[in-house]
Structures are given as structure tokens and as C-alpha cells.
């Protein structure tokens, strides 16, 4: 057996700071992300846990301008529809929010779940097949933390028509879109979420979200 590392108090404090400073970034500088840093972040993401060790995550870097513009168009349509679903003050507040950095971010990364993968031999997902997609989410979170500790910001854009996005990316039919991410260096740095800062939704205390049974 290999001896486990010593995650001492200093490391734990630094890790807590990293988690606290992981932000959903919407405002990016145009500076390119070094290829080596991007590859390192993706390699760390691939160390994430997955059901049956199936590793169902698939990463697609979207660099083609026409494909990226199609994603921007999808966001614009879905964002307008979302704004129209609110009324009065809440609609005004929604329209003031910046909810994506699709035009500014130097890197677009679509993250898929390969739901036809034979890896893992079905272990752990016969009763909960959604565990495949949950596994992909763990990889996204690992990527997010790996990027943040290199000064790279990540924004998760969910205000999209997934079918329209998938149609433009030419991927296998068994792949399901889990996330469309923007990556780049933040134009601003904040230790609080943008939606808290702009009064959309406050954080709840952990004690409000935990039960004992």
C-alpha cells in the first residue's frame, strides 16, 4: 500500500479558500488560455469519480466561429424567453443580469455524457441510470476547481436549447449534453456569487439544508 498524503491544516485552509473563490464567471478577458493549462485541467477532470469507473465524460472544444455563433444565437433566444417568463420587478432584475460570457470567453467547452458507453459494464447504474450524468458533473466540478487554482474562470451556460446546440456540434447520437462551459481569465474577481451580489438570490445557511434522521 502507498502511504496517503498528509492534507495538513494549511492545505485544508487553502482548499477551503479555493472552494469559496470558485465562481461562475460571465465576464472574461480576451487573453488566450495556455494550451498546457487547459490540458492539465482536463486531465485532472478525468480523475473524477464515476459510476462503475465508466468515465462517461466527453469534452468537445468548440472553436469553429459558425458553431460558436449558433450557440450565441441559442442563448439569445432562450434568454429572451426566460426574461418573458417573469413579471414586473423580477423580469427587470433578470434583464440586468449578465448570464453568459459567450462572446468574450476564449474557450468554449461542451461537456457530454456518453450514455452508450460499455465501460463500467453497467455496474451501479441499473437502478439509477442517471448516475452516468452525475459522474460527468463530478468531472465538471473538478475541472472548475483545477481552472480556478490556475487563475482561469469557468462559466456554466444553461440558458440554451440543448437539441439546437448538439445539432451543430456533430457528435454521436448517444452523447447527451450536460454542460456548455466558457473558460478564460476573469475580467473581475469576486469572492461572492454574482447572483448574490446583484440581489437575485441570497445564500442559505448550511444548517437550513441538512436534516438528521
Q: Cell 462572446 appears where?
A: 103
Q: What is the pLDDT of residue 82?
A: 97
Of 63, 67, 72, the residue nearest 161 (C-alpha): 72
Delineate the domains of the chain, giving CATH numbers in brackets: 25-201 (3.40.109.10)
Identify whether the C-beta of residue 181 lies closer than 8 Å to the C-beta of residue 26. Answer: no
Query: Residue 159 pLDDT more than 90?
Result: yes
Identify whether the C-beta of residue 36 lies closer than 8 Å to the C-beta of residue 151. Answer: no
Q: What is the pLDDT of residue 195?
A: 94
pLDDT bracket for residue 20 (50, 70, 90): very high
Under the phi-then-psi rule, with left for phi > 0, alpha for psi from -120 to 50, and beta for the rest, what region is 57? beta
Q: What is the pLDDT of residue 117?
A: 97
Alpha helices (H) along the chain: 9-21, 35-45, 65-84, 88-96, 131-148, 162-169, 194-197
pLDDT bracket for residue 110 (50, 70, 90): very high
The whole-angstrom separation of Cα 178 and Cα 59 is 10
Per-residue pLDDT of 46-70, as tens digits, reads 999 999 999 999 999 999 999 999 9
pTM of the model: 0.95
| Centroid of chain to Cα 184 | 13
Q: What is the pLDDT of residue 1?
A: 84
Query: Residue 107 pLDDT more than 90?
Result: yes
Mean of per-residue pLDDT scores for the chain: 96
Amino acid at each position: 500500500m502507498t502511504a496517503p498524503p498528509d492534507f495538513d491544516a494549511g492545505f485544508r485552509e487553502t482548499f477551503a479558500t479555493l472552494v469559496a473563490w470558485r465562481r461562475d464567471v460571465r465576464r472574461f478577458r480576451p487573453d488566450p488560455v495556455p494550451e498546457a493549462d487547459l490540458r492539465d485541467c482536463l486531465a485532472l477532470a478525468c480523475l473524477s469519480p464515476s459510476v462503475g469507473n465508466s468515465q462517461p465524460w466527453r469534452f468537445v472544444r468548440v472553436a469553429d466561429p459558425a458553431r460558436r455563433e449558433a450557440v450565441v444565437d441559442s442563448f439569445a433566444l432562450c434568454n429572451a424567453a426566460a426574461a418573458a417568463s417573469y413579471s414586473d420587478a423580477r423580469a427587470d432584475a433578470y434583464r440586468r443580469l449578465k448570464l453568459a460570457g459567450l462572446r468574450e470567453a476564449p474557450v468554449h467547452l461542451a461537456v457530454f455524457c456518453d450514455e452508450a458507453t460499455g465501460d463500467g459494464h453497467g455496474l451501479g447504474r441499473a437502478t439509477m441510470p442517471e448516475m452516468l450524468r452525475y459522474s460527468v458533473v463530478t468531472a465538471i466540478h473538478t475541472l472548475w476547481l483545477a481552472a480556478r487554482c490556475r487563475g482561469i474562470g469557468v462559466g456554466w451556460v444553461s440558458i440554451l436549447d440543448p437539441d439546437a446546440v448538439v445539432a451543430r456540434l456533430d457528435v454521436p447520437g448517444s452523447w447527451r449534453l450536460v454542460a456548455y462551459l466558457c473558460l478564460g481569465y476573469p475580467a473581475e474577481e469576486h469572492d461572492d456569487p454574482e447572483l448574490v451580489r446583484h440581489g437575485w438570490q441570497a445564500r442559505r445557511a448550511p444548517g437550513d439544508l441538512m436534516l438528521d434522521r
